[in-house]
Structure 1
Amino acid sequence: MRGMDIKKEHCVLVLGGRVNGYSIIQELHEKGVEDIILFDVSKRVAAFSNKIKRYKTIQNTAESLYSELNEIHKEYDKIIIFPSDDLYLENLYKIYDEIQSFCFVPINSNNFTECSNKYVQYEYCEKLGVPYPKTKQIANREDLKSINIQYPILIKPNKREDLKLKVFRNITLENESDLHQRSEELEKYIDAGISFLASEIIPGDGSCIYAYVGYRNKNGEILNEWTGKKLSQFPDDFGVFSSASNEAPDIIRVQGRTLLEGMNIYGIAEPEFKHDCRDGKYKLTEINLRSMMWHRVGNLSGVNIQYSQYLDALGKTVSHQDQLKSKNIHFVYLKHEIINLISRPGYYKIFYHNIFTSDETHFATFDKKDLKPFIVDCKETSIDIINACLRKLKIKR
């Protein structure tokens, strides 16, 4: 009938508009996906893309997300969801039962909570024979008094808490004195119900971190996969991606598959491993149950993990893809690289290697057919560069 809206079959909903959200949008758009909607808590780089149908700022709560999903459902029969941060994942889990009839949510709702817990991830490593660092859980004040791991020690929340609470992502304790100085702060968080992991620090810089990325469907099949390594991190060796490549030994694929299958994980997952030069093993640091900032490495080397999820959500055949390993491909977030160059002494060699020594170098947020996200990111980068320079001048004084 004229004047009546016809409900469309499906759409894609990307949650989060940072680099990883934009990379999801790029890959899906390149594969011909048109109806892409973006939600975020603030207007970030992906919101300026010409590849999305629309953008909306939302509150990052389960209630708000549920309401917004129902609004989209008035227009589309099915919503295929791609979360790009942990809080979106948690909120999707909270409303899973209410939305599963019209949303494709890429998680195993039966074990999501335990698989998100880093201590449980290490317990699975023990069962499955996957190497991991010496670790102790800190769930109460008494645990702080008996860590019994050789310093230096890395302390991090069991689950990502920095997105919803003012909790650090990680801190390094060099000795007993550092622990004493941070005890009051840690006790405050413990009293608020936050638990932590204390882990030995595996020696090596940000170039020792490797990852397996796979998409495992709800029938337990890994439909596509790729491996790679971080070349550097930001703002330090315990930070986030700065540059990455498609290099990795086959043991990363073997261990990654073992974890996805042994833990019965659904959706896109990324176990990260750090090479320990002391014994030659690749030890799990964490498993991320979503797309990360450097996941475009897979797409650039011939494996479309995001598109694999999209096809699987629609019940379509997903063709197996072999990752290109004969060519050295670098994926660089120039914003992080420039700030590292300014603020980290001796970084020039790493900077040069990451940008100029590959067979191909691709820059995050840059797309000549979609320049606005890159321009917006450059404006933000300029401000960050000025702040980094000011900090360096202040330190010199």
Structure 2
Amino acid sequence: MQLPLEWWFSYVQLVLSDDENHLEIERRLIGQTESIPVDRLSPSAWHELFRICMFSGLFILGQAVRLKASHAYLGCAEMSSAQAPNVKLALSQCLENGDAEGSKRLLERLASLGESERKLRQGHWFRELLCFGKLQPLIFDASADSVENRMLEATSGQNIAIVGPAPTSTPNGAEIDSFGRVIKFNYRGGEQGCDPSTQGTRVDISYYNNGQAEYISKNAGQEFPGGLQFPVFIKPRGLKLLHNRVSYGRVIESPKSFLFNSEFHAGTSAAVDTLRFCPARLKIFNSDLMLSAGRYKGYWRPGTKPVNYCLSFAKTHDPFMQYHVLHRLWSLGVLEGDARFTEIMAGGLDQYIQELQAAHGSQGKETLCLPEQVI
């Protein structure tokens, strides 16, 4: 089965359109998408089409296509022949929507298909969190001296601040420093990321991707790790690179098996990871869910290339997935945020995606066509 040629003609027109014609063509193409029966394409084909939309900078269209993919996976999972990968993708949609019964049924299905006890334990924990807002410890290394147990002792019942890297002039610093524990990202030592007015001076926990860990391993001086208590790495390689400096680090336990599209970005990863350790309060500061492209001065390591957000959203960090999960946690009262974060959550998904496309969508068009091709 294939999409009608009319759909592809409209897609090309939308990619090549100027600002004056974009909205009209977009509405037409969304209408065409909504009228196509879900079974016209396989679930994986709808999924790939969603990625094409994101790469193209067509996030609003991508929302309509993603909904088709969601319905396709949920329908597929009801079949007796459904295999574990499709059941997991259907489960991801139940979790995003807070569907407790659907999530339970699909987790039981995964158990019958031979899913590991470790993954099932994580899946049930994630269900309790997203469907009911229930906090409970999720510790995989229960030995008394494990880093996980130390983290549990340090954060359970504490007020935790997560401080994002978005540039801001909002004077959040004093409030941030009043929290029991402070989480930041890519802390390299010294005063980096510790502006007293906007970011607060403290760093107790910091999260690192592989690129950041590699840079620190080659360039950091004696100021790293400083007073950092808990360095956390997105991937095992990051910990390996810095093991000589931070033998007390750990690798994040991501619920990646139960996500719709690749993985969380750093902020959502940190929030979900921290909730494994049952804080009394979790508040996000200085984060606008990628609506601004910049970072505070000194965050990027030298030589960092500009981020192609359309490629990132298509390949690595699905913004719909991030928003659905954070909005579930926010609406359940599990986490809160500063004024900007609260504004984004209260505005709803449609408004967020419109703002995201306005901020980054042009990158996709610029990648796919030369300026003189725009009609």
TM over 0.5: no
| Structure having the larger proportion of residues in helix | 2
User: What TM-score do the two structures reach when normalised by structure 2?
Assistant: 0.32
* Higher relative contact order (Cα pairs below 8 Å, separated by 6+ residues): 2
| Structure having the larger proportion of residues in strand | 1
User: What TM-score do the two structures reach when normalised by structure 1?
Assistant: 0.31
